[in-house]
Amino acid sequence: MRAFLTVLKQSGELVDIERPISLTYDVGKALAKASAVEGPALLFNKTESAFPLVAGLYGTRKRALIAFEATESSIHEKVTKAIDNPIGPLDFVGPPPCQEIVLLGDDIDLTKLPVPIYSPKDGGPYITAGIVVSEDVDTGIPDIGNYRFQLHGPRVLGLFSASNHRFGKNIAKALARNVPLHGAIVIGVDPMTIFACQVQAGDASNDWFIAGGLRGAPVELAKTISGNLKVPAYAEFVIEFTVDSDDQRIEGPLGEYTGYYTPASLKPTAKVTAITHRRGGIFQGLLTGKPITENHILKQIPFEASILRQLQAQFPTIADIAITNSGGVQAYVVIAMTPRYEGEARHAILAAMASNLHPKWVVVVDPDVDIRKSAEVEWAMSFRVKPREDVFIIDRTATAPLDPYTDGGYSGSVGIDATRPYGVEFPEVSEVPDWRRFDLPEIDRP
Ligand SMILES: Cc1cc2nc3c(=O)[nH]c(=O)nc-3n(C[C@H](O)[C@H](O)[C@H](O)COP(=O)(O)O)c2cc1C
C-alpha cells in the first residue's frame, strides 16, 4: 500500500490532515465531503490512536484507474487478461513486515486501532476496509473478500457475510463439519490485491492467483501466527481470528451500499487470536453508503470485467456491460449486444440474472446505445420496447441480502429486451451525420 500512497501523493490525489480528527463521525463527514467533490484521499495523521488512518484511497474512479494503471478504454481488457493469466503466490522468505509487531493474549486490544464510527446511527466502530482471508475446510482453497466488522470489545468483532459470498459459505461448511473456521482481516495491501477481492471467478478460484495476475507479479505470503492461513507479507495490519457461532451478538446497523441502514440483528462473532502489524502501521478506512462511495468504486471495475468475461463465453456478441453505481453496483445491469437469433437477448438477460450479483433489473440494448449514459439507455427503453413482448419478470429470485425491500430473502428480477426487434425492418436513427468533425470555431473549445 505504501508505494500506492507515494504515487497518489505525487499526483495530488492524497492529502495529509495534520490537525486532530475525531474518529466518532468526523472521519465519516470528511469522507462524505471528499467523495461529493471527487476530492483526494485523506491521510489522518492524528487520530486519537497511535496509528494514522488513510481513507478514501479508492474513492473515485480516477484513482481506481491510477491503481490499475489503465484508462477507460483499456480497463476491461486488462482485468480480463489478468483473470485469464493468473500468477500463483510466493512464500515470503524471512520475518515478514506485517509481523514486525506481534500482539497476543491480553495485549490484543482492538480499541487501540483507529476504527471510526462513520455515522450516528451505526451500531459502533466498524472496520470497513479489511480483506478477509478464509479457506474452504474441505478443499483448503483460500478466498479473499471485503467484509465489514463491528468492534464489540478489545478482542471480539461482529461479522456479517451474505450466504452467497465465499466467506459465508466457508463459515457454513466449517459449522456443518463442526470444525473451527480460522480467518484473518488484512488491512493495508497493494491496490491489485484489494481489487482482486471483487473479481467474480467462481468458488473454486484461488484468489491469490487472480491478485497475482492483476499485479503482474506474485503476491508474497506469510503464515499467520495463530493459524495456518497465509496473508500478504507487506500488509499494514493483520487481525487473526476464529469464528464463534455460539456467541451471537447484535451487529449493526450500518449504512450500506444500497444507501440504507441495514437493521441490527444477531450475528456470529469473531474472536481475535492475534494482531500483528508493521512498525508504524497505517490503518485504512472507507465509507460505504448511498452511491457513490468507495465501496462502489471498489466493486465496479472487477464486477463489470468479470461478469463481461463470463457472459461473453456464452454470448460472444456481447460488446460491453455496465453495472451502475445508482444500482449499488449490483441491482441494475445494462448489456450491449447484437443478438444473433430471435430470443438470444432474453437468454443473455437470464444468464445475467443467474450470476452471483443477483440483479433486480437487466436491460439489453444494441451496441449503438452508450450503456454508460442513462439517458441513452432510457431512450432505448422508450422506443425499442413493446412492454408486453419485451419486458418480463422472473418471480422469487434470491434478492441481494442487504436489499431493504424484500419478501424474506426473495425478490424478483425484471428483464427488458430493448434491442431492435430481431430480423424486422426498423426505422433508421435520425442523427445529423459527421457533426463531431464539423469545424465550428465559434463554439469549439481549444
Ligand atoms: C468495501 C466492501 C465491503 C463489503 N462488505 C461485505 C460484508 O460485510 N458482507 C458481505 O457479505 N459482503 C461484503 N462485500 C461484498 C463482497 O466483498 C463481494 O461481493 C465479494 O465479491 C465476495 O466475493 P466472494 O464470494 O468471491 O468472496 C463488501 C464489498 C466491499 C467492496
Helix-strand-coil split of the chain, %, nearest 5: 25, 25, 45
Asked if residue 446 has pLDDT above 70, the reply is no
From the CA of 39, how far away is ligand 1's center (Å)?
Answer: 25
From the CA of 30, how far away is ligand 1's center (Å)?
Answer: 24
- For 38-49, the pLDDT digits (tens) are 999 999 999 999
Atom of ligand 1 nearest to the CA of 299: 31
Buried b (16+ CB within 10 A) or exposed e, 137-160: beeeebbbbbbbbbbbeebbbbbb
Residue 284's pLDDT is: 98
From the CA of 301, how far away is ligand 1's center (Å)?
Answer: 14
Distance from C-alpha of 18 to C-alpha of 148, rounded to nearest angstrom: 27
From the CA of 74, how far away is ligand 1's center (Å)?
Answer: 25
Residue 113's pLDDT is: 98
Q: Which of 143, 148, 171, 194 to mutate to test the pocket of ligand 1 (most atoms within 8 A of CB)?
A: 148
Write the DSSP assignment of 1-58 as a string of letters: -HHHHHHHHHTT-EEEE-S---TBTHHHHHHHHHHHTT--EEEES--SSSS-EEE-TT
- CB-defined site of ligand 1, < 6 Å: 128, 143, 145-148, 160-162, 165-168, 197-198, 286, 288, 295, 298-299
CATH architecture observed for domain 315-418: 3-Layer(aba) Sandwich (3.40)
Q: CB-side exposure of 380: number of CA atoms within 13 Å?
A: 26
Beta-carbon count within 10 A of 23 CB: 20
Distance from C-alpha of 195 to C-alpha of 382, rounded to nearest angstrom: 36
Asked if residue 360 has pLDDT above 80, the reply is yes
Q: Where are the domains of the chain?
A: 2-285, 315-418
Instruction: Please enumerate, as own/partner, the contacts of 68-77 that have beta carbons within 8 Å and a separation of 24 or more.
Output: 68/191, 68/192, 68/195, 68/214, 68/301, 75/301, 75/305, 76/301, 76/304, 76/305, 76/308, 76/320
Residue 63 has φ and ψ, to the nearest 5°, of -70, -30
Tell me whether strands 53-55 and 254-255 are parallel, antiparallel or unpaired: unpaired
Dihedral sign computed on CA atoms, order 95, 101, 107, 111: negative
Q: How confident is the model at residue 408 (pLDDT cuts 50, 70, 90)?
A: confident
Atom of ligand 1 nearest to the CA of 198: 21
Asked if residue 313 has pLDDT above 70, the reply is yes
Taking residues 96-118, what's their average pLDDT?
A: 98
Q: Which of 146, 208, 265, 286 to mutate to test the pocket of ligand 1 (most atoms within 8 A of CB)?
A: 146
Residue 277's pLDDT is: 98
Residue 159 pairs in a beta bridge with 149
Q: Which CATH superfamily is domain 2-285 in?
A: Electron Transport, Fmn-binding Protein; Chain A (2.30.110.10)
Q: Which of 238-252, 319-333, 395-409 has the lowest mean pLDDT?
A: 395-409
Q: What is the dihedral of CA 58, 375, 442, 440, to 10 degrees?
A: 100
Residue 413's pLDDT is: 96
Asked if residue 254 has pLDDT above 90, the reply is yes
Grid cell 483526494 — which residue? Answer: 40
From the CA of 132, how far away is ligand 1's center (Å)?
Answer: 9
Tell me whether strands 220-223 and 90-91 are parallel, antiparallel or unpaired: parallel
| % residues pLDDT > 70 (the chain) | 100
Name the amino acid, one letter, at 338.
Answer: T
Q: Residue 282 class from Cβ within 10 Å (0-12 exposed, 13-18 middle, 19+ buried)? A: buried
DSSP H or E run through 233: none
Taking residues 358-387, what's their average pLDDT?
A: 97
- For 116-150, the pLDDT digits (tens) are 999 999 999 999 999 999 999 999 999 999 999 99
* Cα radius of gyration rounded to whole Å, the chain: 23
Asked if residue 357 has pLDDT above 80, the reply is yes
Residue 339's pLDDT is: 98
Mean pLDDT score across all residues of the chain: 96
Asked if residue 406 has pLDDT above 90, the reply is no
- For 409-423, the pLDDT digits (tens) are 888 999 999 999 999
Asked if residue 331 has pLDDT above 90, the reply is yes
